[in-house]
Structure 1
């Protein structure tokens, strides 16, 4: 496939390595700042010209451009995989653009297949202690010092999935605590240090013991591979899909269903 990379930072370079390893071609790079290595045409913005000849686009960019980018994908008929975070307050607007055009669109904060297995295991573990108040719950995430937002989108996704199965936890607290947490709060804490690609830990703690479920990314390669797999999956499909629905389809296919 011919794939456009939208956003040529660290993740964009990882996506390039992953798609090349799977036999695909980078047909265009869209980034107003980072230069291409010269093997693909470079563009400042997502446009029909940039997307011409592309089978699909993979975007890890800035949230400010999400609506205009979605309109360009729709105008061109180019399906897209979007790992950009920080734009979910515009979800309905982007969904409307996608559904009116009948292109395929996959979005999410984390395209690592292993991370989604971690979500499923953590959610199931949380459901086991939903009525056992002796177990309190905590989520902690750790990333490299260059990451500009906290907590991570992955941590917030995990937190919401825990709230969905543990009724006694009704709200997510992400701020610095200078008080005892309320019983109905799920505290999500963050650390920024060094070059950690991403570590997420779900903790269930009681006076008797501590149970932890952890996902530790060794590199950005897992996120990039997941995005490329999503790109392969969305070509030929239409509709507005979360990364969770893509991963579920992928895992079910792996089970022969």
Structure 2
């Protein structure tokens, strides 16, 4: 398959290696400033470069400030899009409209690690078990490298949704206490930015007697890159074979058969 990369930072370069290891061809590396990439200064220029490249689709690991404009510019090309950038999910209704009108297809995930996506299901199930016991409270904590642009992480937000599906007593997610005690119905999510940490996500259930802690620790970003390439393969093959439809949004739940 021929892949265009939108964003050629650390993740973009890892996706390039993962794609080449899988036998695919990188036909475009587009980035506003990264060495070794075609300098692209706007979403419209990105779409034009992708069109000229002959790519079968696009994998995007850019920046939360750029990703929505990129999607809106790329959707009319009718190509499959795999988006690894996070921090834009409030715009999903508008993205759905753009993808449908452009007869494109978009795969998005806050985290392309298979383990993390299984962790979401584990978190939901554990929350459902524990919420039957009033003495346990629940919180989340996440740690990432200090260059990560969004906080909290998209993965932490998905974990929070999973916890709240399992525990109906938690009604609201908060990220800062601002000197006010956390209410019983609030789910507190803590974020730490430190060094080069690829990603640590922890779920805590605490009572006066004990604490239960569930943690997923990423050893490197390579798993994210391989997962993004796997998602690209799944999306392109599914569209070609007719098992997937143009104009739709897909997630890791669809790929893993968990939806």
Global fold match (TM > 0.5)? yes
Question: Which 5+ residue runs of structure 2 have no aligned equivalent?
Answer: none
How far off is 1:89 after superposition? 2.3
Is 1:49 aligned with 2:57?
A: no
Q: How far apart, in 1, do the equivalents of 2:150 and 2:71 lie?
A: 23
In structure 1, what is the equivalent of residue 64 of structure 2? 63
In structure 2, what is the equivalent of residue 24 of structure 1? 24
* Aligned residues between the structures: 247
3-state SS, counterpart of residue 90 of structure 1:
helix
**Mapping 1:131-210, distance limit 5 Å:** 131-210=132-211
Is 1:239 aligned with 2:243?
A: no
How far off is 1:214 after superposition? 0.8
Q: How far apart, in 2, do the equivalents of 1:14 and 1:58 lie?
A: 12
In structure 1, what is the equivalent of residue 120 of structure 2? 119
Deviation track 1:28-47 (CA, whole Å, cap 9, x = no partner) reads: 0111110226xxxx251421
TM-score by length of 1: 0.90
Is 1:248 aligned with 2:256?
A: yes
Q: How far apart, in 1, do the equivalents of 2:193 and 2:253 lie?
A: 30
Question: Which 5+ residue runs of structure 1 have no aligned equivalent?
Answer: 253-257
In structure 2, what is the equivalent of residue 255 of structure 1? none
Q: Give the 3 Å change call, closer, same or farther, for CA 68–151 of structure 1 in structure 2.
A: closer
Native 8 Å contact 1:111 1:243 kept in 2 = no
Native 8 Å contact 2:76 2:103 kept in 1 = no
How far off is 1:152 after superposition? 0.9
Deviation track 1:98-117 (CA, whole Å, cap 9, x = no partner) reads: 01122221112111111101
How far off is 1:68 after superposition? 3.3
Q: How far apart, in 2, do the equivalents of 1:66 and 1:149 lie?
A: 13
Q: How far apart, in 1, do the equivalents of 2:33 and 2:197 lie?
A: 24
Q: Give the 3 Å change call, closer, same or farther, for CA 92–198 of structure 1 in structure 2.
A: same
TM-score by length of 2: 0.89
Is 1:106 aligned with 2:107?
A: yes
Deviation track 1:119-161 (CA, whole Å, cap 9, x = no partner) reads: 1111110010122111110100011122232211111111122
